[in-house]
Amino acid sequence: MNTFLNNFPILAIMILFVGAFVTSLVGRRSALARNGVVLVSMTAALAMMLALVKPVLLDGQIITYWLGNWEPVEGWAFGICLEVDALSLFFGLIVTVAVFVSGVYSFTYMNHDDSLVNYYTLFLMLSGSVLGLVLSGDLFNIFVMVEIMTFTAVALTAFRNTYEGALEGALKYLVVGSLGSTSLLVGIAMLYSQLHTLNLAQISALIPGQGANPVIIAAFAFLFMGFATKAFLFPFQPLAADAHAVAPASISLMISGVLTKCGVYGIIRLCYVLYENLNQPLVQYLVTGFGAVSMFICVTMAFNQHNFKRLLAFHSISQVGYVITAVGLGSALGVSAGLYHAMNHTIFKGLLFLTAGAVQHQTGSLDLDSLGGLSKRMPRTTLLFLIGAASISGLPPFNGFASKWMIYQAAFQRGAATGNFFFLFVCIVALITSVLTLASFIKVAQSVFFGQLPEQYKEVKEVPLAMRIPMWILAVLCIVTGLFPTQVQNYLLLPATSAAFNAANYIDQAMGLGYAAAHGIATGGVAGLMVSDCWNPTSWLMLLFCITCAVAIVALLASPNDLKDAHISSCDEQAEVLDAKYESFFSGEESVYSQVGGSDLFWGFKHNWRKYFSYMHDWHSGIVNDYTLYGVVAIAFVLLACIILL
Partner 1 sequence: MFEKLIDNSMAKSPWIFHINAGSCNGCDIELVSVLTPRYDAERLGFRLTGTPRQADIVVVSGPITLQTRDRLVRTLAQVPEPRVVVSLGSCPRSGNVFKGSYAIDGPLEKYTHVDVSVGGCTPKPEAIIAALAKATEILKEKRKEMHK
Partner 2 sequence: MNVLLSSLFHVLIFPGLLFCVVMGVLLSGLDRIWVARMQRRVGPPLLQSWYDFLKCCGKETIVPRHAKKAVYFAAPVVGFAALISISLFLPIAGGKPAYSGTADLVVILYLLTLVSVCTIVGASASGSPFAGVGLSREMVAMISYELPFVLVILAVSRAILAPGDSLNNIFSLQAIADYQAANGPLITRWALIPAAIAMLFVIPCEVGMHPFDVAEAETEICEGTLAEYSGPPLAVFRLTHMVKMFIMTALFCVLFLGGITTGIAVLDVILFVLFCLILTFLTMSLPHGACARFKVEQVFKFYWTVVAGLAALSLILVWLGL
Q: Please say which residue, 279 or 539, places its beta carbon nearer to partner 2.
A: 539
Is 379 one of the binding residues for partner 2 (CB under 8 A)? yes
**397 contacts 537 by C-beta, under 8 angstroms:** yes
Is 560 one of the binding residues for partner 1 (CB under 8 A)? yes
Is 587 one of the binding residues for partner 2 (CB under 8 A)? yes
- Pick what 560 binds: partner 1, partner 2, none; C-beta below 5 to 8 Å, kind-dependent: partner 1
Is 421 one of the binding residues for partner 2 (CB under 8 A)? yes
Q: How far apart are CA 568 and CA 571, in angstroms?
A: 10
Q: How far apart are CA 28 and CA 33, in angstroms?
A: 9
Is 4 one of the binding residues for partner 1 (CB under 8 A)? no
Spatial CB neighbours of 191, under 8 Å, sequence gap ≥ 6: 139, 198, 203, 216, 219, 223
- The interface region with partner 2, picked from 237-245, 357-365, 391-399, 473-481 by CB under 8 A, is 391-399
Residue 76 sits at φ, ψ, to 5 deg, of -120, 125
Neighbouring-strand partners of residue 138: 199
Single-letter code of the amino acid located at 197: T
Q: How far apart are CA 352 and CA 385, in angstroms?
A: 6
Is 556 one of the binding residues for partner 2 (CB under 8 A)? no
Spatial CB neighbours of 614, under 8 Å, sequence gap ≥ 6: none
Q: Please say which residue, 518 or 549, places its beta carbon nearer to partner 2.
A: 549
Q: Please say which residue, 332 or 634, places its beta carbon nearer to partner 2.
A: 332
Is 590 one of the binding residues for partner 1 (CB under 8 A)? yes
Indicate which single residue of 161, 193, 523, 548 sits in contact with partner 2 (rule: CB under 8 A).
548
- The interface region with partner 1, picked from 16-24, 161-169, 220-228, 561-569 by CB under 8 A, is 561-569
CB of 581 to partner 1, least distance (A): 5
Is 567 one of the binding residues for partner 2 (CB under 8 A)? yes
| Binding pattern for the stretch 432-471 against partner 2, x by CB under 8 A and - elsewhere | x--xx-xx--x--xx---xxxx------------------
CB of 605 to partner 1, least distance (A): 24
Q: Please say which residue, 209 or 379, places its beta carbon nearer to partner 2.
A: 379
Is 422 one of the binding residues for partner 2 (CB under 8 A)? no
Cis upstream peptide for 235 (omega within 30°): yes
Helical packing angle, 31-51 and 86-109, nearest 10°: 160
Is 597 one of the binding residues for partner 2 (CB under 8 A)? yes
Return the half-sphere exposure (C-beta side, CA atoms, 13 A cut-off) of residue 129.
22
| SS3 state of residue 136 | strand
Indicate which single residue of 539, 570, 587, 625 sits in contact with partner 1 (rule: CB under 8 A).
587
Q: Please say which residue, 76 or 593, places its beta carbon nearer to partner 2.
A: 593
DSSP string, 52-121: TIIIIIIT---EEEEGGG---BTTB--S-EEEE-HHHHHHHHHHHHHHHHHHHHHHHHGGG-S-HHHHHH
Is 570 one of the binding residues for partner 1 (CB under 8 A)? no
Is 563 one of the binding residues for partner 2 (CB under 8 A)? no
CB of 233 to partner 2, least distance (A): 24
CA angle 76, 81, 84 (to 5 degrees): 120
**353 contacts 309 by C-beta, under 8 angstroms:** yes
Is 546 one of the binding residues for partner 2 (CB under 8 A)? yes
Radius of gyration of the chain (CA): 25
- Pick what 589 binds: partner 1, partner 2, none; C-beta below 5 to 8 Å, kind-dependent: partner 1
CB of 332 to partner 2, least distance (A): 12
**229 contacts 179 by C-beta, under 8 angstroms:** yes
Is 575 one of the binding residues for partner 1 (CB under 8 A)? no
**255 contacts 243 by C-beta, under 8 angstroms:** yes
| SS3 state of residue 367 | strand
Indicate which single residue of 74, 455, 589, 618 sits in contact with partner 1 (rule: CB under 8 A).
589
- Pick what 439 binds: partner 2, partner 1, none; C-beta below 5 to 8 Å, kind-dependent: partner 2
**427 contacts 346 by C-beta, under 8 angstroms:** no
Is 551 one of the binding residues for partner 2 (CB under 8 A)? yes
CB of 450 to partner 1, least distance (A): 17
Q: Please say which residue, 527 or 566, places its beta carbon nearer to partner 1.
A: 566
**504 contacts 521 by C-beta, under 8 angstroms:** yes
Judged by the rule CB under 8 A, the positions of this chain that interact with partner 1 are 557-562, 567, 579-581, 583, 585, 587-590
